[in-house]
Homo-oligomer: A and B are copies of this chain.
């Protein structure tokens, strides 16, 4: 059975906006190194950075019909997350669909498949993370699901979860945990500022992080060149 679930809850927009200035790596660390999508998803241009709420869509391989169905469910602030049920790198998405999504308030696309019209998408500055680039189009014959939980690039994403994406990749934060993760991520970012300053002055991580003793315990030895 194929379904479209309407009116699914989104993460509070105040929280979502908080993620907009944080990097994917920071968010990933802040939630215990979970939620990172596989690195085969790459941005089509750089630099690039967005945060928004997941609008999920499950497709048949080589069939982009459900993207049109998803467009109707979009709300401002959403990021479309599209996953075919098996791998096929054809182009499910191009600038016409981007035009439509932008008109509905969608901030970008994360797709474990291919896209086309990337020159136009770059000019439009419509952010896309995809597994492939191809000009090969798709058909509109088989229905799928919209706004149901999906597995995208190895990670489970539910409608309304927070998506954060930048040059490094894409991470998802579950809706229920978003507030906590945001707090951790901000605190982590603040902590890094201090370390950055010390490192920039030439202090060593060995000293800042107090690593020397543990390294010795694990068996690290220092020699001088020419020693035997």
Contact = CB atoms under 8 A, between A and B. Distances in A.
A75 to B, nearest CB: 13
B94 A137 contact: no
A8 interface: yes
A134 to B, nearest CB: 4
Contact of A62 (B24, B61, B69): B61
Contacts of A100: 199-200, 203-205
A135 interface: yes
Interface in A19-53: 23-25, 28-29, 32-34, 36, 38-39, 42, 46-47, 49
B143 A47 contact: no
Q: How many copies of this chain are found per oligomer? A: 6
Q: Interface residue tally of chain A, by bracket? A: 35 or more
A25 B117 contact: yes
Given A33-B137, A151-B154, A103 B200 contact: yes
A140 interface: yes
A104 to B, nearest CB: 6
Given A23-B117, A39-B134, A221 B104 contact: no
A197 to B, nearest CB: 9
Q: Which of A3, A46, A167, A204 has the most CB of B within 10 A?
A: A167
Contacts of A141: 139, 141-142, 218
